[in-house]
Amino acid sequence: MTLYIDYADEIESLIASEALPAGQRLPSVREVSRRRKLSVSTVLQAYRLLEARGLIDARPRSGYYVSSHGAQYPQRPHSAPMVTPAVASVAVDRSELIHAVLHASRSRALIPLGSAFPDPQLFPFARLRRAVYRGLRDIDPHQSVEDLSPGNAELRRQIAIRYHLDGHTVDPEEIVITHGALEALNLCLQAVTRPGDTVLIESPTFYGALQSIERLGRRAIEIPNDPATGLDLARLRDCLATQRPAACWLMPTFQNPTGALMSAENKRLLVELLCAHEIPLIEDDAYAELYYGTQRPPPAHAFDTTGNVLHCGTFSKCLAPGYRIGWAMPGRFAAQVLRCKLESTLAASLPAQVGLAQYLGGSHYDRHLCELRAELQTRRDRIIDRLHRHLPADIEFTQPEGGYVLWLRLPPDIDARELHRRALAAGVAIAPGVLFSTGNTFAGHVRLNYGHPKTTELDEGIARLGTIIDRWHGPGSASSYPR
C-alpha cells in the first residue's frame, strides 16, 4: 500500500542530507524498478510524490532532477507565532463576523484555501452509497423508531473496534451517535455548563467553540497554544490558580487552526491537571485519523480514569463528509449528554448510521485512510513548497503532522482581514485569524486549507496571495521582499 511513500521518504532523506545534491539527475523509473524490485507504477508514484513535495522536477524527455531549492527544505521556523492573551473571562461576540466571513467564502468559483472541509474527491462516495443501500436493506423497519439515541448498536460497536485497534479500549455503550462532531461538542458543553459559566479554550481556537460559547451565553478564557506543541500547560496551571472555569474545550490532536499536536505525555498531564481541579475536558478529536505518522496519536480520553473527559469524534473529516455522523463518549456525563441529545434532535439519521455501520464492517476503511493520509501529506508538502516560492521570507507557518490546515503569520504590516477581502476579489478564499479568538491577537494570521483545493488550484491560490502581498504597498513595492 505505502511502498511508494516509503521509497519517496528514502529519496527525500537523501536530498535532505545532500547525498543527492540540487541538479542531480535521478535514476530512471525503469532502472529503479529493476534494481529495487518495485513495480514501475510504484516508482512513478514515488517520483510524483517527490515532485508534489517540491523536491524534484520532471524535465520533458530527460527525466527527474533534484530541485534547486529542494535541498534547503525545510528552511524556515515552523512555530512560535506565540501570543499571551490576558487571563480573564470574557463575553464572546465573534459569531456575526465568523458567519459573514464563512458565507463570503462559500462560492465554488473561489479557490477554497479558507474552507473547513477536505476535497470531496478524496472520499469513497460510491462505496458508501452501496453500503447505505445494503444497510437499509438489512434492517428491520422497527429500528427506525427504536434506534433512537444513543444510536445504532452496530455502528457504536464498529466505532469501539476502531479505538481498540489503535490501542484504546472503550465500551460501545458509552458512545452516543450525533449529527457530526459539532453537535457532540455542543451537547457536551450544554451537559457540563450553565449560562454565565466560563469555559477555558485555547488561543487560537476552533471558531465553532466561540460560536457555541456565545450562543449559549457562556464566557471564555483563552489559554495560549503553541502552534507546534499545542496548549501551554504552564499557562493553564497559572490560570487555574486564580480562575474557576466550569469546563475546558480543546483539540489536542491536529488542532484547528494551527495543526498542533500535543505529545502523549502532555495529554496525560492535561487530563490529570483538569481532573485534580474537577474541570471536565471536552476533547474535540475530529482530525485524529488524519495522522501522517505511523500510528494514531492517543486521545486525551485514553489517559482518563475518572470519566472526566467528554471525547468527541466524527466521520466528516476522514470518511463521509455530509453524512453528519459523529459521536460523543461523555464519561461520567453520559446521562446528561444523552438526555440533551434526545431533547434537541432526538436521534441521528438512519440511512447514514446503517450505511456507515455496513461500510466499517467491510475491509475498505483502512485502505481508504492510508491513501487519504498519504494524499494529505503530499498536499501539505506541496503547499509548503509553494509558500516558500511565492510568499515573502518573513512569513512563518506551521508544518502539521496530520489534518489538512496550517497556520501562517503574515509580515507585520499585513492585516489578515484586508488580505481576505483582496484575496476574495482575486478569486481566493482564506480564513483570517480574527475568526479564531475573541480579540485581535491573530489579526496578522491566516489559516490555509491545503486538503480542499486541487493541485493546480493550490498552486494558483498561493501564487495569487503572493502577488497580493507583493502589491500591498502599491506599485514598485514587490521588491521589498527578498525571494
User: Which residues bind to a copy of itself, rule: CB under 8 A?
Assistant: 95, 99, 106, 108, 115, 117-118, 120-121, 123, 125, 128-130, 132-133, 136-137, 141-148, 179-180, 182-183, 186, 190, 194-195, 208, 211-212, 215, 217, 320-325, 339-340, 342-352, 355, 452
Q: Which residues contact 27 (CB under 8 A, 6 or more apart)?
A: 35
**Which one, 21 or 322, has the nearer CB to a copy of itself?**
322
What's the min distance (Å) between Cβ of 57 and a copy of itself? 31
What's the min distance (Å) between Cβ of 314 and a copy of itself? 10
What's the min distance (Å) between Cβ of 344 and a copy of itself? 5
What's the min distance (Å) between Cβ of 458 and a copy of itself? 16
CB 335: neighbour CB atoms within 10 A? 10
Q: Could you tell me the three cell numbers for 232?
A: 501551554
What's the min distance (Å) between Cβ of 369 and a copy of itself? 18
**Which one, 262 or 429, has the nearer CB to a copy of itself?**
429
CA dist list (Å): 442 to 81, 115, 413, 418, 432: 9, 18, 13, 13, 8
Contact 204, 258 (CB under 8 A): yes
**Which one, 167 or 351, has the nearer CB to a copy of itself?**
351
What's the min distance (Å) between Cβ of 174 and a copy of itself? 17
What's the min distance (Å) between Cβ of 378 and a copy of itself? 20
What's the min distance (Å) between Cβ of 186 and a copy of itself? 5
**Which one, 255 or 314, has the nearer CB to a copy of itself?**
314
Between CA 41 and CA 56 the distance in angstroms is 17
What's the min distance (Å) between Cβ of 107 and a copy of itself? 9
**Which one, 253 or 358, has the nearer CB to a copy of itself?**
358
Q: Which residues contact 122 (CB under 8 A, 6 or more apart)?
A: 372, 375, 376, 451
What's the min distance (Å) between Cβ of 429 and a copy of itself? 13
**Which one, 53 or 317, has the nearer CB to a copy of itself?**
317
**Which one, 170 or 352, has the nearer CB to a copy of itself?**
352
**Which one, 22 or 136, has the nearer CB to a copy of itself?**
136
**Which one, 358 or 398, has the nearer CB to a copy of itself?**
358
**Which one, 212 or 225, has the nearer CB to a copy of itself?**
212
What's the min distance (Å) between Cβ of 418 and a copy of itself? 25
What's the min distance (Å) between Cβ of 93 and a copy of itself? 13
Between CA 51 and CA 395 the distance in angstroms is 23
What's the min distance (Å) between Cβ of 28 and a copy of itself? 36
**Which one, 409 or 452, has the nearer CB to a copy of itself?**
452
**Which one, 20 or 110, has the nearer CB to a copy of itself?**
110
Instruction: State the SS3 of the chain.
Output: CCHHHHHHHHHHHHHHCCCCCCCCECCCHHHHHHHHCCCHHHHHHHHHHHHHCCCEEEECCCEEEECCCHHHCCCCCCCCCCCCCCCCCEECCCHHHHHHHHHHCCCCCCEECCCCCCCHHHCCHHHHHHHHHHHHHHCCCCHHHHCCCCCCHHHHHHHHHHHHHCCCCCCHHHCEEECHHHHHHHHHHHHHCCCCCEEEEEECCCHHHHHHHHHCCCEEEEEEEECCCEECHHHHHHHHHHCCCCEEEECCCCCCCCCCCCCHHHHHHHHHHHHHCCCCEEEECCCHHHECCCCCCCCHHHHCCCCCEEEEEECCCCCCCCCCCEEEECHHHHHHHHHHHHHHCCCCCHHHHHHHHHHHHCCCHHHHHHHHHHHHHHHHHHHHHHHHHHCCCCCEECCCCECCEEEEECCCCCCHHHHHHHHHHCCEECEEHHHHCCCCCCCCEEEEECCCCCHHHHHHHHHHHHHHHHCCCCCCHHHHCCC
CB 482: neighbour CB atoms within 10 A? 7
- For 215, phi then psi, to 5°, come to -65, -35
**Which one, 77 or 120, has the nearer CB to a copy of itself?**
120
